[in-house]
């Protein structure tokens, strides 16, 4: 097994760790508490008048970048967003996501036209308008609509002239200037520790992948039918067995969705379950199971699965996915640290910083600052230790996180091996695994810059652990 080509960062007592609120998954697999909150209350009360897609995008962007930053996954639960028509809701979320993805580029185009920073709602109007113009939006419509939104902003009607003037200047130069701008950099609290782990050149490649966004990946219920569904969907069959569409559009309208032939799952996220090998007839526990992609993989592979998650709401989504695909699993709501029993195989997708998913979630580095990563690392260790008590002698456990931070991956496995005599790492085997992905301790590390010609993949760490007989 090859050793890492870059050093890992030393333990840093939580400094530079992205997630002061527990990440997209909160403690023990649940979501963070509390409903969506707007900076001025607008994000958690119904609007007085119908909203446009652009107005919805502005509210979302204000929510992510305001004084009390929220993830888009939290803001999507706001009642007002549900009152947009489905097309407008989708457009609002896309506008917000793409503006966050290109935030630094937007700001660089804007800075030479601003003598001082305007109030945040107006700055966010300018950012959203800049992204639309850079993406080829018709200048007249984009500028006029955002001027209208500026007029509607509480106490900001006097900013209409500024918005009009700046966006017209941006419209005149965006086509030429946008391609010259570098890929947006990660914020310092995340960039610095990752640079220690991977080196500056590798981080620049991550940032290029983040700026490109992510295609739609699918996991096929029956691997033998992957080529058939690739043809039906016009998808690329990836080396690891997943299908990839450059633009999936409305997922529920795609061939095979209604009959449950596949489900959405990033190619990297599909790897941990595949490392467990033949599961026919084995008892399997999927810890932190929601939204259910790995549960469905285990069930489709012939295991008798128990799916555990802290959130009953998220487990309802697991059950919906199982019903659509015609698969079955026992559903259990509860704390992973309080579970009992014995299982042949366990899959622990532990709560983490989710820093490997920035291609899909560009709000994460903006809404988080790293304050609680130390707590997450402690939780991961406790969950791994307890999961091992649930593993039958000779059983296999996959530990995985969708994090780029080695302390949430490689270091966790190294330290678990020290704490548990008789525990060993099984060499990973699965189609499409490349030797360069294998880490020193025997796990698998994926990063966003892999497969650049195919569209990248999420950052993930995974290792298969075997308990002594």
* CA–CA distance, 243 with 262 (Å, rounded to integer): 9
In three-state secondary structure terms, 91 is: helix
Q: Give the DSSP letter of residue 21.
A: S
Question: Residues 106, 352, 400, 402: which is the catalytic one?
Answer: 402
CB 446 within 8 A of CB 198: no
Q: What residue has token string 């080396």? A: 239
Contacts 24+ apart (CB under 8 A), 4-8: 4/410, 4/439, 4/440, 4/445, 6/197, 6/198, 6/199, 6/202, 7/196, 7/197, 8/196, 8/197, 8/406, 8/407, 8/410, 8/411
* CA–CA distance, 82 with 165 (Å, rounded to integer): 33
Helical spans, DSSP H, in 31-85: 53-65, 72-75, 79-82
CB 387 within 8 A of CB 287: yes
* CA–CA distance, 124 with 143 (Å, rounded to integer): 14
Question: CB 341: neighbour CB atoms within 10 A?
Answer: 11
Annotated active-site residue 288? The verdict is no
Query: What is the set of active-site residues?
Result: 402
């Amino acid at each position: 097994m090859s050793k890492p080509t870059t050093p890992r960062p030393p333990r840093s007592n939580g400094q530079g760790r992205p997630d002061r609120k527990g990440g997209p998954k909160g403690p023990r697999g649940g979501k963070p508490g509390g409903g969506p909150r707007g900076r001025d209350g607008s994000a958690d009360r119904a609007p007085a008048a119908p909203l446009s897609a652009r107005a919805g995008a502005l509210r979302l962007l204000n929510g992510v970048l305001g004084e009390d930053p929220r993830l888009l996954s939290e803001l999507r639960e706001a009642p007002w967003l549900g009152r947009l028509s489905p097309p407008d809701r989708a457009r609002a979320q896309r506008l917000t996501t793409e503006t966050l993805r290109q935030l630094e580029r937007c700001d660089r185009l804007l800075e030479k036209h601003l003598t001082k920073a305007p109030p945040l709602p107006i700055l966010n109007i300018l950012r959203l308008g800049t992204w639309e113009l850079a993406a080829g939006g018709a200048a007249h419509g984009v500028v006029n609509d955002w001027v209208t939104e500026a007029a509607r902003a509480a106490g900001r009607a006097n900013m209409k002239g500024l918005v009009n003037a700046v966006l017209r200047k941006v419209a005149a130069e965006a086509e030429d200037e946008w391609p010259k701008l570098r890929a947006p950099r990660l914020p310092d609290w995340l960039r610095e520790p990752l640079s220690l782990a991977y080196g500056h050149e590798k981080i620049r490649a991550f940032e290029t992948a983040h700026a490109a966004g992510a295609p739609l990946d699918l996991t096929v219920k029956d691997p033998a039918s992957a080529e058939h569904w690739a043809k039906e969907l016009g998808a690329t069959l990836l080396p690891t067995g997943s299908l990839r569409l450059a633009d999936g559009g409305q997922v529920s309208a795609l061939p095979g969705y209604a009959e449950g032939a596949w489900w959405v799952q990033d190619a990297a996220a599909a790897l941990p379950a595949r490392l467990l090998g033949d599961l026919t007839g084995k008892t399997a526990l999927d810890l932190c199971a929601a939204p259910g992609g790995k549960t469905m993989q285990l069930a489709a592979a012939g295991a008798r699965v128990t799916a555990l998650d802290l959130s009953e709401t998220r487990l309802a989504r697991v059950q919906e996915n199982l019903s659509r695909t015609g698969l079955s699993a026992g559903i259990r709501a509860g704390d992973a640290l309080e579970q009992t029993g014995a299982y042949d195989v366990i899959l622990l997708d532990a709560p983490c910083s989710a820093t490997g998913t920035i291609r899909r979630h560009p709000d994460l580095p903006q809404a988080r600052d790293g304050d609680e990563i130390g707590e997450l690392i402690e939780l991961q260790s406790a969950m791994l230790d307890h999961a091992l008590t649930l593993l039958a002698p000779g059983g296999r456990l996959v530990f995985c996180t969708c994090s780029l931070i080695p302390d949430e991956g490689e270091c966790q496995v190294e330290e678990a091996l020290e704490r548990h005599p008789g525990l060993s790492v099984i060499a990973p085997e699965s189609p499409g695994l490349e030797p360069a992905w294998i880490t020193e301790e025997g796990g698998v590390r994926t990063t966003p810059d892999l497969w650049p010609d195919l569209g990248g993949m999420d950052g993930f760490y995974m290792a298969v652990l075997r308990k002594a007989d």
